[in-house]
Amino acid sequence: MKRTVEICVLIALAFGCASCGTKTPTQTQETSKPAAPAVPDNIQKAAESDLGSEAEVIVYGDLAKNGKTQALVVNRLKVTPKTAVPGILLTRASIVEKDNGSWREIFRCDEHLKNEKGYLARNPLTDVGSWRLQYEQNPEKGLELYFTPLDKPAGGYIQTLGVLWNPEAKRYETLDPSYKHFLMEQPTLEIPQSQVRM
């Protein structure tokens, strides 16, 4: 009897040791997500210099297919709206470009969309406090941006504005409603004058 108990204990120990280091089918392996590649320090510093310490670099590289390094930078919206909307919710965005060793802002989205020549066409006439941004990287055209006000602008309506690098003008410009043709900037935002005469 004593001998049988000893044999049973030895068999149990042998099975216990044999299972050490092996996984049974019921055990699951944890798969860790690969970490997002770190933004190079010089790009992060350029982003923070442009939009402050809360600046987040969304994408960087030859975004305009013009041979220059650019970075799309945003300040995310701090309060998420009750209704979920796809895209990046932001208060400000910019595109900075490295030119002759220094960084400069070439596009800005805050209350309005602007480039170095002025306000982009189709801008709402009243200030926009927050935007939804959707983007894609077209292998031929470069970075395509789509900005939509989160709230209806006063006296206007919600419309999505397409922004793309214009290789002829060498700057980011808005596209017409069909997203096929570039539209010129305006030096100032003006409320259209009524053509009705009294």
The pLDDT mean for the chain works out to: 83
The domains of the chain are located at 41-174
Model pTM?
0.77
Residue 22 has which token pair?
């092996």
138: pLDDT strictly greater than 90: yes
Is the model more confident about 87 or about 10? 87
Beta-ladder partners of 70: 61, 97
pLDDT at 26: 41
Residue 171: how many other CB atoms lie within 10 Å = 17
- Yes or no: say if 164 and 141 are a contact pair by the CB < 8 Å rule: yes
pLDDT at 157: 82
Residue 127 CA from chain centroid, whole number? 21
Is the model more confident about 13 or about 53? 53
Average pLDDT over residues 23-37: 48
Is the model more confident about 12 or about 29? 12
Cβ contacts of 29 within 8 Å, gap of 6 or more: 23
Is the model more confident about 71 or about 158? 71
Average pLDDT over residues 101-129: 94
Distance separating alpha carbons of residues 136 and 180, to the nearest angstrom: 16
Residue recorded with tokens 């220059």: 68
- Per-residue model confidence as pLDDT tens digits over 142-194: 999 999 999 888 777 889 999 999 999 999 999 999 999 999 999 887 654 44
